[in-house]
Copies of this chain bind each other. A is one copy, B any other.
């Protein structure tokens, strides 16, 4: 099905119309959107691209592309302890396929609705498939979670479970025979439809010293937090939270490696003072992504992993877009 740019844009604008947001003075359809200011809060802004064939395999369902493009940005806001409010989408796709676009918007808007995010603007053009979202949120002045706020002695904790998404990605081609296998479905869903930890970030913004979201693998992202805070991390590999589905499908090597270096988890890694730990654990008591203690921060530098009581190192520590180019 082919359609011209303006009818495609109108289609999307109309699909957005039913949910009025009093903070959106002017939504899609003009040269730019007009939005209510954050008042005394800070504006929190992030942008991230999702490129088919690079970040997600060719042939991924368009619903998953729409969901994931927004989720990875909301995850960044969550890691700041910010409340998501608005999103803009710059979409390039090879053909003007209205059905594809409807499905992509369906995935995106379902997630947006769940977190009270209004899609306020966008741009559609021809080109290799690329969905770039900019997410805007509000952050309490003095209630934000920076990478640089951690202190020596802080505990390290993560939300949810690690390694699921990477294993789900590896298992993507295995669809037909085990289609009804719930573990396989769970793992694939963790890869295709990551859940941004927005509520968790908000609940912990006054309790944690620092946070980062895990997109490139625990060791690599923990390394960014350590570097920004000028500290060293010690992580206990046995303690990393693994889902039942992960435990049932991972081989021995994957069991150890994927939670440390798998990437695509989109869980939060937090630095929390020991005195705040009980309160933080309780704050996420009702969450589907509760906190697990995985290590501690101390003076020094680098990320050190203990496994079976001994120092442990992996050959590769995460995903780097330009590695080997």
Seen from chain A, the residues whose Cβ lies within 8 Å of a Cβ on chain B are 2-6, 8, 25-26, 29-49, 51, 53-55, 76-77, 79-80, 82, 86, 88-92, 95-96, 120-128, 130, 132, 134-137, 139, 144, 146-148, 211-213, 228, 320-323, 325
- Expressed in whole angstroms, the minimum distance between the Cβ of A122 and any Cβ of chain B is 7
Across the interface, do A134 and B47 meet the contact criterion of CB distance under 8 Å? yes
Let me know if A43 and B35 touch, CB within 8 A.
yes
Q: Which of B49, B80, B120, B211 contacts A45 (CB 8 A)?
A: B120
Kindly state the separation between the CA atoms of A45 and B91 in the bound complex, as whole angstroms: 16
Contact assessment for A90 and B132 in the assembled complex, using a CB-CB cutoff below 8 Å:
yes
Minimal Cβ-Cβ distance residue in B for A120: B45
Counted per complex, copies of this chain come to 2
Which single residue of chain B is at the shortest CB-CB distance from A144? B34
With a cutoff of 8 Å between Cβ atoms, the chain B residues found around residue A51 in the complex are 92, 125-128, 130
Question: A6 to B132, alpha carbons, bound, how many Å?
Answer: 20
* Contacting residue for A31 out of B39, B76, B120, B124, CB 8 A: B76
Residues of B within 8 A of A90 (CB): 47-49, 90, 132, 134
Do A3 and B322 touch (CB < 8 A)? yes
Most B C-beta atoms less than 10 A away, residue of A79, A92, A211, A228: A92
* Cβ contacts under 8 Å, A122 to chain B: 47
Are B144 and A322 in contact (CB-based, < 8 A)?
no
How far does the alpha carbon of A80 sit from the alpha carbon of B92 in the complex, in Å? 24
Q: List 5 A-B contacts (CB under 8 A).
A: A31-B212, A32-B79, A43-B136, A90-B134, A126-B321
